[in-house]
């Protein structure tokens, strides 16, 4: 081992891996190591399970996958024999018949040390206990005379692992993460990190991955805390980058970070918008779609989805189609065209009348004893879904579906119609949030998007009453309470799991609360068939909230 240094040059690779692309992730590690070498780094740190991509889910049950990760790890380790920076990198690691979520120190041409994750999260979107074994409490890793404590992600959400590292001589805490975004998550992470610094007296480096993986979005936002709790550096959100942090040991044996990046994190609305953009972009690009196609109705939801798509992919990769029928208003026709023009995207019109009329004619003998009802309304939606899927099949773009969380909560959507699609960027946004983000985007253009400045969602779309336009003079409030009331009830039922009596006590009308609870439960079968979409709230529909489809429970309180 070399003499104890007085300086540590730490490069933080806030990286965007692709799950399962071991070769691609390995190449990215090489490129980021080269950037670390250019910056003069001693050590380049990567996020949790970087070589596999995070979360790899049941891929890690395949022995061939684990073996490929081990080969990649050994290949990178051999390359550190060139005298350049060492690597601290995440990978699944099999040892003594167990499989761990691990970080490996690669230095001097070999795998110098491995540490395993102790606290395996098993809540919300996480189910690591299904696929990994919990590691033993770790001691620090010796790196060129410095004792690095490496608690992995969830390991800092409880005090025990850091306490063990302090007792065994750690000097700096380096925390690799795969921490997904939801509302106000950055503040929560910082608070947890500060708690560990206060308890341990040690400085801390928090490195998070970035990018979209199915429904999860990782927002980066890596940071460092000095031992006195001072925020020493802040890396940007939603940006893949390598940043250098230089640490020096004082006469008191405490390591102190020098000046580093000082990015400003996005506020609530900007963070939500960028999560939608990054989630859609990476879903499209990582699954190798050439672009997207969506129905542009002249309503708020499809307009916001179109704006997100253009910000994510650029106007040349977004195709909007208006699918009018006899109930489509002239206002909607004008608004959809104006939105497409503002975004600079291809816009086509495909009237659906001939197909709807043909279906009604075909079904006429079966339906002749029955008055028209929601069945005929749903035919319109299903024809629209068929047209969009045909365009997708013919030309290759993925269909974006545009239902919001309020609608999906109460089943205000048509299976095999407007629910058709491969991905939904606003799936976890309530209707009131969709309106708010539309106004926000018209007033703001984030730095890292491909869409235009100025008003991209015509104000008339934002101002008019929402309507599916499936019958004359229809509005959403014909069958639903006002969205501010609906969303208030839904947030309490879904996010907070509050009881009916508790919600009524907060001032909501009893019959409305009970009706919404009933609609929420009976729409579960639709949500199980819905496209994936960006997670933005604490409890999205899907991995966060797993309710039975067959369910007769109702809260009688």
Catalytic residue annotation: 48, 117, 153
Rounded to whole angstroms, how far apart are CA atoms 411 and 404?
11
Omega before residue 55 within 30° of 0, cis: yes
- In terms of Cβ atoms closer than 10 Å to its own Cβ (0-12, 13-18, 19+), residue 513 is buried
Question: Which residues are CB-contacts of 439 (< 8 A; sequence separation ≥ 6)?
Answer: 462
Residue 393 sits at φ, ψ, to 5 deg, of -60, -40
Nearest CA to 540 among 208, 214, 270? 214
User: Which secondary structure element, helix H or strand E, spans residue 45, and what is its range?
Assistant: strand 43-45
H-type helices in 182-224, by residue range? Answer: 185-200
- The CA dihedral of 536, 539, 544, 547, to the nearest 10 degrees, is -140
The structure tokens listed for 437 are: 């983000």
For residue 493, give Cα distances in angstroms to 472, 552, 553. 32, 16, 14
> How far is residue 412 from each of residues 94, 162, 170, 350, measured CA to CA in Å?
47, 48, 55, 24
> CA 322 to CA 490: how far, in whole Å?
31
Taking the C-alpha atoms of residue 401 and residue 399, their distance in angstroms, rounded to an integer, is 6
Query: What distances in angstroms separate CA 310 from CA 163, 303, 348, 389, one per listed residue?
Result: 47, 11, 16, 20
Q: Are 297 and 324 in contact (CB under 8 A)?
A: no
Q: Which two tokens stand for residue 314?
A: 């650029």
Here the tokens at position 149 are 């404590």
Q: 380-398 as b/e, with b when 16 or more CB fall inside 10 Å?
A: bbbbbbbbbbebbeeeebb
Question: What is the number of alpha carbons within 13 Å of residue 70 lying toward its C-beta?
Answer: 12
280 contacts 400 by C-beta, under 8 angstroms: yes
CA-wise closest residue to 508 among 534, 482, 526, 530? 482
Closest by CA to 127, choosing from 158, 101, 95, is 101
> Rounded CA gap, 340 and 295, in Å?
11
Looking only at the bridges linking them, the beta strands covering 43-45 and 7-14 are: parallel
């Amino acid at each position: 081992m070399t003499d104890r240094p007085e300086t540590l040059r730490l490069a933080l690779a806030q990286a965007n891996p692709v799950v399962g692309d071991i070769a691609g992730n390995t190449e990215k590690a090489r490129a980021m190591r080269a950037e670390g070498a250019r910056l003069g780094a001693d050590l380049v740190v990567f996020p949790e399970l970087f070589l596999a991509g995070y979360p790899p889910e049941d891929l890690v049950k395949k022995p061939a996958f684990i073996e490929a990760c081990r080969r990649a790890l050994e290949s990178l380790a051999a390359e550190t024999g060139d005298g350049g920076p060492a690597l601290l990198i995440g990978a699944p690691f099999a040892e003594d018949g167990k499989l761990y979520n691990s970080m490996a120190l690669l230095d001097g041409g070999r795998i110098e040390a491995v540490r395993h994750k102790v606290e395996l999260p098993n809540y919300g979107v996480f189910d690591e206990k299904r696929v990994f074994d919990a590691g033993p409490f770790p001691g620090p890793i010796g790196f060129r005379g410095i004792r690095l404590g490496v608690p992995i992600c969830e390991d800092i959400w409880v005090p025990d692992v850091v306490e063990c590292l302090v007792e065994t001589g750690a000097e700096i805490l380096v925390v690799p993460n795969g921490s997904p975004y939801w509302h106000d998550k950055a503040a929560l992470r910082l608070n947890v990190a500060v708690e560990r610094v206060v308890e341990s007296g040690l400085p801390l480096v928090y490195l998070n991955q970035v990018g979209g993986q199915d429904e999860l979005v990782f927002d980066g936002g890596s940071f460092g805390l000095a031992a006195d709790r001072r925020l020493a550096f802040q890396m940007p959100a939603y940006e893949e980058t390598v940043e250098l942090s230089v640490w020096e040991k004082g006469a008191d044996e405490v390591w102190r970070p020098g000046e580093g990046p000082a990015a400003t994190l996005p506020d609530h609305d900007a963070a939500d918008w960028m999560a939608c953009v990054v989630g859609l972009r990476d879903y499209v690009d990582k699954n190798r779609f050439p672009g997207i196609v969506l129905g542009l109705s002249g309503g708020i939801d499809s307009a916001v989805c179109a704006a997100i798509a253009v910000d994510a992919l650029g106007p040349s990769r977004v195709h909007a189609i208006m699918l009018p029928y006899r109930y489509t208003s002239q206002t909607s026709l004008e608004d959809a065209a104006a939105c497409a023009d503002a975004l600079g995207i291809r816009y086509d019109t495909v009237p659906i009348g001939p197909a709807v009329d043909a279906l009604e004619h075909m079904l006429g003998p079966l339906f002749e004893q029955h008055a028209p009802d929601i069945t005929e309304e749903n035919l319109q939606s299903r024809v629209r879904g068929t047209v969009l899927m045909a365009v997708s099949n013919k030309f290759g773009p993925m269909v974006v579906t545009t239902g919001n969380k309020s609608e999906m909560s109460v089943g205000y959507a048509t299976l095999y119609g407007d629910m058709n699609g491969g991905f939904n960027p606003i799936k976890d946004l309530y209707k009131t949030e969709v309106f708010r983000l539309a106004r926000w985007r018209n007033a703001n253009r984030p730095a890292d998007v491909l869409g235009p400045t100025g008003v991209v969602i015509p104000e008339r779309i934002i101002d008019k009453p929402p309507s599916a336009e499936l019958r004359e003079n229809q509005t959403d409030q014909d069958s639903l309470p006002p969205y501010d009331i609906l969303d208030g009830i839904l947030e309490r039922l879904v996010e907070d799991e509050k009881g009916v009596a508790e919600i009524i006590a907060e001032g909501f009308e009893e019959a409305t609360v009970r009706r919404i609870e009933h609609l929420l439960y009976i729409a579960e079968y639709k949500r199980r068939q819905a496209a994936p979409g960006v997670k933005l709230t604490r409890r999205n529909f899907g991995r966060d909230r797993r309710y039975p489809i067959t369910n007769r429970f109702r809260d009688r309180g």
